Amino acid sequence: ELSMAPSPRIEYGTLDVTIEVVDSMAEAVDHVHMHGSGHTEAIITEDGETAEAFLRSVDSACVFHNASTRFSDGFRFGLGAEVGI
């Protein structure tokens, strides 16, 4: 059994990850608006229409569909290497 994450905003500095599973794209967008960094967000889905709606609805510097967020760090924006990962 998996343990609960202490917070959706925690940075581990390890290979650990926090995953939130939601029932709808609207719930995903609401979750991002409440807990997101405004820096980098991602959606994992096989539904192209859902992904497009998410990409258009989330206000963040980088928004990805079925892609890792790990290389989108502050260095890419000239802000240093560890901003908002």
CA distance 10 to 14: 11
pLDDT score at 14: 77
Q: Looking at per-residue confidence, does 22 or 56 come out higher?
A: 56
Would you give the DSSP letter of residue 60?
Answer: S
pLDDT score at 85: 46
Percent of the chain with pLDDT over 90: 28
pTM: 0.71
Q: For 37-71, how does the pLDDT look when each residue is reduced to its tens digit (9 = 90+)?
A: 788 888 989 999 999 999 999 998 889 999 988 77
The strand ranges marked E within 23-72 are: 40-43, 62-65
